Amino acid sequence: MNTPRKPWLRLASAAMAAAALAFGPAAAHADDGFPNRPIRLVVGFGPGTSVDIVARIVAAKVQALAKQAVIVENKPGAGSLIALKEVARANPDGYTLIIAAMPNISIAPSINADLGLDPERDLAPVVGIADSDLVLVVSEKRNPATTLQEFVDWGKKQKSVFYGTLGAGTLGHFGGVLFSDTTGIKIDLVHYKAASDSYIGLVNGDVQATLLASSVAASQLRSGSVRVLASTGAARSPSFPDVPTFKESNFPDMQFGAWYGIFAPAKTPAGILEKINAEFVAATRDQEVRSKMEAAGFSVTGTTRADFARAVHDDTVRWAKVAKSAGLSAN
């Protein structure tokens, strides 16, 4: 038998409901003292990776601004899936966050039906921190091209072009498929395990082209055996200011990049998400942070929640179409 609710309890409940309606769900649930204990920032890859570098640069500044510890915790495995699942299932209180890269959020669902989570459903986009474009690098041994158009003209005459990637499902892989669709060049994919291996393949002429993150390419290109022909960014890469973008070279469909951003569990109150966004945006405005990011080959963003959510969704739709074009199903 149900016990009747006491009048004072009914009045308290009514008052709380009225407050929630008056001030909205964010005000009703936000913790005015947030953050009042350490924040975990989970990284789904090991130390020294691009995601880890971005995480540590920005976390140090957020810690100083918020006057609360921000602990970067590396949890590599399964292409960051282990870390993503852990954060998606964490208490949605703002104290467990993850920094993720675009392919692990927007490409993975198109090629893996067994993710165990839906990133757009189970994670809340909080803020975009940085972007990294890619550059098209070609081997001098296997083709005479000195410009993108020359390479495209040469490639169309070949039966196929050997194209190196850093693994199936990576942005370089999908970017190569998009490059093939955009230019009409037929490619044979050669999957490598590391950027250094891909670079060696280019130098030796085992592959004729690859797309590498500009930050990676800048550290790898040490010889005259390779040539950088174009970048995928909206503007020229700071690492290669003399290299035109694909858009400048009349291939606008090849404008894309890899964003790095902060996510929280999906049910985290909006008020707390706004506070987290504000702290991280403030960190990206710091000149020291910007200098460190740019030196590492990244373009600093610091977006609103809405802009970041839109970028996540648009890339998920875009790369799903590329996966379909390539005949890659979620399996």
The two three-digit tokens of residue 54, written as one number: 């971005």
pLDDT given for residue 223 in this prediction = 64
Residue 46's φ and ψ, nearest 5 degrees, are -75, 170
At 86-144, the pLDDT tens digits run 999 999 999 999 999 999 999 998 888 778 899 999 999 999 999 999 999 999 887 88
CB distance 272 to 33 below 8 Å: no
pLDDT of 267 > 70? The answer is yes
Q: Which of 187, 211, 215, 185 is nearest to 199 (CA)?
A: 211
Around Cβ 150, how many Cβ atoms within 10 Å? Answer: 14
pLDDT band at residue 10, thresholds of 50, 70 and 90?
very low
Q: Where are the beta strands (DSSP E) in 26-181?
A: 39-43, 70-74, 96-101, 123-132, 134-139, 161-165
Please write the tens of the pLDDT for every residue from 206-229.
999 999 888 778 777 766 688 999
> What pLDDT, on the 0 to 100 scale, is given for residue 134?
93
Q: What is the dihedral of CA 25, 31, 37, 41, to 10 degrees?
A: 20
Q: Please tell me the pTM assigned to this model.
A: 0.80
Q: What is the pLDDT, as a whole number, of residue 31?
A: 56
- Kindly report which listed range (9-23, 130-144, 273-287) carries the lowest average pLDDT score: 9-23
Would the CA dihedral through 101, 106, 111, 114 be positive or negative?
A: positive
Strands (E), 34-87: 39-43, 70-74
Q: Where are the alpha helices (DSSP H) in 229-304?
A: 270-284, 287-295
Ramachandran quadrant class, 261 (left: phi over 0; alpha: psi -120 to 50; beta: rest): beta
Give the count of alpha carbons within 13 A of 128, CB side only: 22
Cα separation of 178 and 175, whole Å? 5
pLDDT value, residue 166? 84
CA distance 299 to 301: 7
In angstroms, rounded to a whole number, what is the distance separating the alpha carbons of residues 17 and 28?
9
Q: Which domains does the chain have, with CATH numbers?
A: 39-132+257-325 (3.40.190.150), 134-254 (3.40.190.10)
Strands 209-213 and 134-139: antiparallel
Share the mean pLDDT of the chain.
87
Backbone angles phi, psi at 129, to 5 degrees: -100, -45
Residue 142 is predicted with a pLDDT of: 79
Order across the sheet with 258-265: list the strands: 70-74, 39-43, 96-101, 258-265, 123-132, 299-300
pLDDT digits (tens, 9 = 90+) for 159-187: 999 999 988 778 888 999 999 999 999 99
**Per-residue confidence (pLDDT) for residue 1, from 0 to 100:** 43
